[in-house]
Amino acid sequence: MPDHIKFFESLSGAGKAIAVLTSGGDAQGMNAAVRAVVRMGIYVGAKVYFIHEGYQGMVDGGDNIKEATWEGVSSMLQVGGTVIGSARCKEFRTHEGRLKAAHNLVQRGITNLCVIGGDGSLTGANLFREEWSGLLDELVQQGLIDAEAAKKYYALHIVGMVGSIDNDFCGTDMTIGTDSALHRIIEVVDAIMTTAQSHQRTFVLEVMGRHCGYLALVSALACGADWVLIPEMPPEDGWEEQMCQKLSENRAGKKRLNIIIVAEGAIDSNNKPITTERVKDLVVRCLGFDTRVTILGHVQRGGTPSAFDRILASRMGVEAVLALLETTANTPACVVSLCGNQSVRLPLMECVQMTQEVQKAMDEKKFEEAVKLRGRSFENNLKTYKLLAHRKPESELPHSSFNVAVLNVGAPAAGMNAAVRSAVRVGITEGHKMFAVNDGFEGFYKGQIKEIKWGDVGGWTGQGGSLLGTKRTLPAKHTEKIAEQMRKHNINALLVIGGFEALESLLQLYDARSSFEEFCIPLCMLPATISNNVPGTDLSIGADTALNAIVETCDRIKQSASGTKRRVFIIETMGGYCGYLATVGGLAAGADAAYIYEEPFDIRDLQANVEHLTEKMKTSIQRGLVLRNENSSENYTTDFIYQLYSEEGKGVFDCRKNVLGHMQQGGAPSPFDRNFGTKISAKAMQWISKKLKETYRQGRVFANTEDSACLLGMRRRALIFQPVVQLKDETDFVHRIPKEQWWLKLRPLMKILAKYKTSYDVSDAGQLEHVERNRPKETDASAI
C-alpha cells in the first residue's frame, strides 16, 4: 500500500459523541448532510445525536436531543427541507440561553457539534465554542455539573456546513441547496417561456436573494434572460432606457418573448429598491408590451434535492465527521466547503468575516469590491453574463476577419446547445465570423457549413440534445474533403464540442497537420458526454442532467415499493465502460451497491452483496437499490444479477429490474450543465482569439505546436487547457475511459453509507486552508 495514502481507520470515534443540527432557513440537501454525518459517525464508533429544532432544541433539551440510529436516516436522502427541524432562537443569543445549551450537551457527553446553516448560525456556534470553558465553570459553580465532568468535556469542537439556497457564504463555490433552488427557478422559467411565447408577453420574475444576487445571475445565464437586476451590480443611471431599448430590439428581431429576472434585494445606484412592479410599470409605460409578474417565493426552497446537492451534502457530511475526529483543543472551528470539484476545510470565522465584508462593501457602494469578495465563482458568472447578454453595436466590435467553425461530435448531451450559443455570441463579440457545421464531421466533409449570427442562437440554452445535429463519424477517412471545405470557407479555428469521439477527432486532425496545412489552426475541444469518460476533465457537459434523470427515476422506482413487501431493484445505467453514472448516481440515490467495469467483481462479491442486503432487509430497511453499469461485466449481465438476487433473496425480498436506456440522454439540460457549458465555451472562445492573434503571420494563421490543439477541462479546482497529444498517455483507448478517474474515490463513501466495511482514502483531507481573497489580477483579467 502506498505510503502517501492515509486511511481514516486510524481516526477512531470510539468514546466520542457528535451532535448534528440544522439552523436558520432550510435548504434542500440538508437531510443528505444529516444522513452522512449520522452514518459516518456511527461507522467510526461515535455516538451521534440529533438536535431537533436547531438551537432552540439545544436550549430546551429533553426529547429535542435524541440519539440517532443507522435506520433512522433511511429514506431521507430524497426529502427536501430538514426532517430534524430548524428554528430561529432568540434565547441562544443570550448568555443564559447558551448556559442552558451547554448543560444539555454536557449531560449527554456531547463535545462535537456539526452545524448546518448560514453565516448567522455558524457565527453563533463559534461564539458558543469560545465561551464553552467559561460556561462549564459557571455550571460547576451552580452545582449543575461536577468538576470532573468539566475537566472531561473541557473543549467544544465545531465543524460547519453551509446550507443556504442564496449561495451567499464566502469561501465556498456552492452552498447546500443552491443547485436545487436553481432547478426550481429554471423549471418555472422554462414553463413560463412557452406561455410567454404564445402571447408575445414580457415576464418579470422575482427570485430570492435579499443580499446576494447569485440565484438571479445564474438563472439569467441558464435561461438566456434579456435583463437581470442584482444587489451587487446596481444598474447605472439611465438603465431604464437601455433596458427598454434592448427589449424593443429583441422583439424587432422576431423574438416573441422577454424575460427579466429581479433579485428580491435589487437596488439602483441611489440605493432605492428595484421591485418587480416598478420594472413592470416601466415596460408597460415605455413600450406598451403585455407584461406579467411572477414572484417565485418559497417554491425555491421546496422540492426534492438535486443530484448535485445530494452528492455535495454527502461528501461534506463525511468530511465534517473526519474533521471532528482530527480536531484538537487548539484547532479553530472550521467550515467544510467546495472549491472547484474538491472538498476543503476553511477557518469558519475567516469565511464569516469575508461574508460580512461583502455587505459592508455594498453598504459603502464599493460594488466591484463586493463582487471580488463574493469569490471566483460569482465573479466568473458575472463576467460571462456581461459577455453574452448585451450585443455591442457593429461599430464597436473589433474586426478580426477570422472565421471560426463550431460543431458537435458523438452522442448528444444536454448543455451542448448552451455551449454553442455561448461560443457564437462570444466569437461575434470578439469580432470573428462564426460558422455552424451540421451533423459533425459527416456534415463537414459534405459541406453542411453556414454562417451563424447572434440572433440564430436565441433560446438555445434550455434546449436538450444537439440543435446543430451530431454524428459519431471521425474525420480520419475524410481529411481531404474536410480540408477542401476548410479552404472553401477559409476556416481559421475550430471548436469541437463532444465526448470521446471529439477527443479522437482532434487527435486525428492533429496527426493530419503533416499532410494538410488547413489543420494547422487553433483546435479546441469541450467535453460534452453523459458518460463523463473524457480524459483531462473531472466533469463533462451533460453528465449532471443524466445524473438527475437517473436519481429522479430511482426515487420513483423506490417509492413504487412503499407499503409493499421488501423489494430490491436492479437498475442498469448507461456510460459505456465508464462507471461514473452508476457510482455517482448510486451515491445520490442511496444505492446499496453499484457494479462497474473499473472495479472488477466476481461471484463471491455478488454473493456477499446479496447476504449483506438480506441482513439489512431482515431488520427494518424495506427497499434495496442496486445499480449496474451497462458494460461492467460481459458475463454478469443485468439479467444474471437480477436472477441471482431473486433466487438468493427468496423468502426475504423479491426483485425487479429496470434498464433506464436513452431517457438518460434526453430532457432539458440542468442548470449546472447550462451554466458549465456556457462558461467553458466562453473561455474556449477567448483562448481561440488569443491563439489566432499569436499565430497570425504574413496574412495567414499557422499553428502547428502541441499547445494549439487543446481540451478545456475542469481539474480539481481550475479550468485548464491541455494539449490533446499529452492526454494520450492518460487514456485507455480500447475501453474509451481515462486511466485514472477522480470519482473512484467516492466509491468507498457510497459503500460506507450503505453499511459496508471498507477503506476510505483521506489523503486529500485534513488540511485546514485559508480563504483566498479574490483580488484583481494584473494578468488575464478576462479569465473565466
The set of catalytic residues is 166
662: Cβ contacts below 8 Å, ≥ 6 apart: 574
Burial class of 114 by CB neighbour count within 10 A (0 to 12, 13 to 18, 19+): buried
Residue 336 is inside which H or E element, if any? strand 334-339
- In sequence order, which ranges of 201-334 are alpha helices (DSSP H)? 214-223, 239-252, 276-287, 307-326
Chain centre distance of CA 663 = 21
Nearest Cα residue to 540 out of 429, 436, 632, 409 = 409
CA dihedral 697, 388, 218, 741 (to 10 degrees): -30
349: Cβ contacts below 8 Å, ≥ 6 apart: 123, 126, 332, 333
Residue 435 is inside which H or E element, if any? strand 433-437
The CA distance from 463 to 414, in Å, is 8
765: Cβ contacts below 8 Å, ≥ 6 apart: 319, 322, 323, 343, 345
User: Can you give 178-199 as a three-state secondary structure string?
Assistant: HHHHHHHHHHHHHHHHHHHHHH
Total Cβ atoms within 10 A of residue 151: 10
CA distances for 695 relative to 238, 486, 490, 689, angstroms: 42, 17, 15, 10
**Largest CA-CA distance found in the chain, in angstroms, rounded:** 91
The CA distance from 681 to 33, in Å, is 32
CB 498 within 8 A of CB 408: yes
* Order of all β-strands in the sheet with 112-117: 65-67, 47-51, 17-22, 112-117, 157-162, 334-339, 342-347
At position 519, the amino acid (one-letter code) is: F
The CA distance from 468 to 419, in Å, is 11
∠ CA(395), CA(401), CA(402), 5° rounding?
A: 130
Torsion sign across C-alpha atoms 49, 50, 52, 53: positive
DSSP assigned state of 273: B
CB 758 within 8 A of CB 748: yes
Pull the grid cell for residue 607: 454473493
DSSP per residue, 46-89: -EEEEETTHHHHHHH-GGGEEE--SGGGTT-TT--S-TT-----
The CA distance from 500 to 507, in Å, is 11
Mapped onto helix, strand or coil, the DSSP state of residue 159 is: strand
Residue 10 is inside which H or E element, if any? none
The CA distance from 581 to 533, in Å, is 10
CB 682 within 8 A of CB 601: no
Pull the grid cell for residue 90: 432568540
∠ CA(203), CA(204), CA(208), 5° rounding?
A: 135
